[in-house]
Structure 1
């Protein structure tokens, strides 16, 4: 058995350690911020709103995106999706948002993502830009997210996502997907080409682009 297979076979709770649980008021509503360390020593956080249940919990697993989430970049839809997911969870009355650090640039890191963005400005799409840099198209892993859900007592989720691969990975790590809930935000002139590439080359479910 390889080292990666050994990690993959760990009980889900063993891949994360709960460190802190505290109240977090936000402009979207009030959450519990539950902080974890994952098996790599990376700090992770889950925002929990209301009384979540074991089955069918509305859940967003959101990949870290400094440019979109913090700086409001219009190159991607990440910041808009983050806001929309938090609003949807509060409207629902209960749910979880896991903010996954280490997923910057689909797992290639911030500086590599900026290099890929420069290549996109020069004409490559988001897939070919990563390939040109000798990097994976998508290096993200969702084992820690599955471990956090298991620690929170969640066994199945209604997943706020347009990405079937995210659902496949969570299923692989023991979290059942009872529903894939679309999280569609309107494209803008900067993001449209990027989103079309995700739909056409990465199998993201983005039907709202058909008329854009």
Structure 2
């Protein structure tokens, strides 16, 4: 695989925070999807990396049913200071797709948690695979990194693909009345490192 193109994109978030990204696209990714690598901040030998799975509802529309939008905003600011990459991965709904994610939301409204709703649809708890992310990092020359995440599966998968995760840096916890059950399920069922200030 190889770099397809790199372009500079100035960004401004709704709260006024601004950053400039060097956005790279790729040819030959293992899953055939259009993932992006956004470089921020100074160059460094051990970059801070966030693997952020696309979330249209949270990233674009500000949905409070998840914590994706605030995590994306936090990641851009922290990487802009430390230097590194935001890998924006086209894996909506933990890999099940947008429509299926919204179907799962309907089941959650009927009382199922986020994982039980996926299973009721015949899908896995988390269908994401980070092989393409590891490919992207290798093409960018990254073999060792600090990983910005609360999800232990991300570091496990990267290591299995030969990427050294020197340190795991937790993201903030963005709990609210609208998403606390979702966050509690992630902590209880898949070991996310979340300290929840609101009781589930």
TM-score (norm: length of structure 2): 0.92
Q: Is the contact between residue 146 and residue 175 of structure 1 (CA under 8 Å) also seen in structure 2?
A: yes
Distance 1:50 1:68 in 2: 24
Structure 1 window deviating more from structure 2 (108-117 vs 35-44): it is 35-44
Query: Partner of 1:4 in structure 2?
Result: none
Q: Which residue of 2 aligns with 1:26?
A: 11
* One of 90, 98, 113 as aligned partner of 1:125: 113
Asked if the contact 2:52/2:72 (under 8 Å) is kept, the reply is yes
* C-alpha distance in 1 between matches for 2:183 and 2:125: 14
CA RMSD of superposed structures (Å) = 1.3
Q: CA deviation at 1:53?
A: 3.2
How far apart, in 1, do the equivalents of 2:77 and 2:42 lie?
16
Q: Do 1:53 and 1:153's aligned partners in 2 also have CA atoms closer than 8 Å?
A: no
Post-superposition Cα deviations, 1:130-182, rounded to whole Å, max 9, x if no partner, equal 11111111000001111111111111111000001110000011111111100
Q: Which has the higher helix share?
A: 1
Q: Secondary structure at the match of 1:29?
A: strand
SS at match of 1:141: coil
- Count how many residue pairs are aligned between Structure 1 and Structure 2: 193
Do the aligned partners of 2:22 and 2:40 also contact (CA within 8 Å) in 1? yes
* Residue 98 (1) aligns with residue 87 (2): yes
Answering whether residue 36 of structure 2 is matched by residue 45 of structure 1, we say: yes
What's the offset of the Cα at 1:210? 5.2
Name which of 113, 121, 128 aligns with 2:101: 113
Equivalent of residue 55 in structure 2, options 62, 65, 80: 65
Q: Which runs of 4+ in 1 moved over 4 A?
A: none
